[in-house]
Amino acid sequence: MVSAEMLKSMNADNEVNLLDLSFQKPVLLVFLRHFGCIFCREALTDIARNRTNLESKGVQIILVHMSDNETAEGYFKDFGLLGIRHISDPACQYYSHFGLTKGNFNQLFGLKSWTRGFSIAVGDGIFPALKQIGDGFQMPGVFLIEKGDVKEQFIHKSAADRPDYSSLIKCCVV
């Protein structure tokens, strides 16, 4: 269970804490894999495609990443996510507090990862980057937080899992 103290310690863009933001409107908190990962790049593409729809339903998207803010903002700009709120967590302490673990070999490099990765590259034209920024073993996850409580979550069983962001917010939007 994530504590109010933990949420208060998480500052989006080094300004406003996550606990306070969650009292303003529901927060879709997306923990990303490292920026070189094809699945992270797919997630950024999906979020960019769905951003207007999610935000129009009163949800604030906040991305958690493992790089410094300046590097992250460059990636977000490249994916059409300029101005999106984000939290830097290079030590992966927030990932850990939300129960997101390091992946094992099968979760990261299993058949599902290879086939989905190939499908993303061929079908969507999204490719991994050679430069890995962050912990390549860290698993991602998505949490919907409202008024300090986690209302919904999607914890990846495989790095290749693809969350349905619209389904995750249904509990907290009209």
- Highest average pLDDT, of 7-16, 98-107, 112-121, 144-153, comes from 144-153
Strand segments, DSSP code E, in the chain are: 11-12, 16-17, 27-31, 60-65, 85-88, 141-146, 149-155
**Going by DSSP bridges, is the β-strand pair 85-88/149-155 parallel, antiparallel, or unpaired?**
unpaired
The predicted model scores a pTM of: 0.90
SS3 167: helix
- Report pLDDT digits (tens) over 60-75: 999 999 999 999 999 9
Cβ-contact 116, 37 below 8 angstroms: no
Please tell me the predicted confidence (pLDDT) of residue 130. Answer: 60
- What number is the average pLDDT over the span 12-21? 88
pLDDT digits (tens, 9 = 90+) for 40-55: 899 999 999 999 999 9
Q: Which CATH architecture fits 4-172?
A: 3-Layer(aba) Sandwich (3.40)
Encode pLDDT of 119-157 as tens digits: 777 777 666 666 667 888 899 999 999 999 999 999 999
